Structure 1
């Protein structure tokens, strides 16, 4: 459960384990962000899958759209806000419960704190592996390129490219100037 996610995510390994052929994916080129610091991810595609909560006596099934990603996983899928809207479900993160209405009463889906802790430990282990990977080295190089030059004195000021100086008060004789950016980058 991820109340912050604006999409449902499924990992390619999960699809393989479910026996779903990846040729069933339909293409999507829209990237999403915040998976890894400073990076965006482009999904392998999207897929619509039926999702069922509870058992035969009281169940609810809806078809959800998942963005399928091909990077390593610590979960099988991430259910975001689109899932909660479709099921009209209410998540409670304190008690690790998800509640929704069913044909024969309220459906409650939950887990134990021990299982949640185990998943958290696995997730931290996975994050540590990613941190130690080559991709982190690339990230560090990119950040280092964007770092200010340490040789410049503190307090010195240089206009950025695409900037111009204008007089703060054209009627004043002091000649105080300010730098104004004339173009904005996409970033």
Structure 2
């Protein structure tokens, strides 16, 4: 049932003789944050290096792969409705409109 307050580096909790307050050290907190940031960055770099090595190895095994993207891969699955209707949003500004399909299901 402790309540931490990270901005003030304090933690309060109930004790047998009243509230116990524990204070943190800003310098130690800053040093720990910097060290954990360096550790996280080194782990990300190591993971990216491993992935890059794997990609290079796979490219070396299959030199006949072309980097060109197939047309079917560039097309999305979204198909616009063939019959649409423009609904004006503002009568004073005809360029502001919404387009909806005319054959929409009632659901």
Pick the structure with more helix per residue: 2
With CA pairs under 8 Å and 6+ residues apart, which has the higher RCO, 1 or 2?
1
Pick the structure with more strand per residue: 1
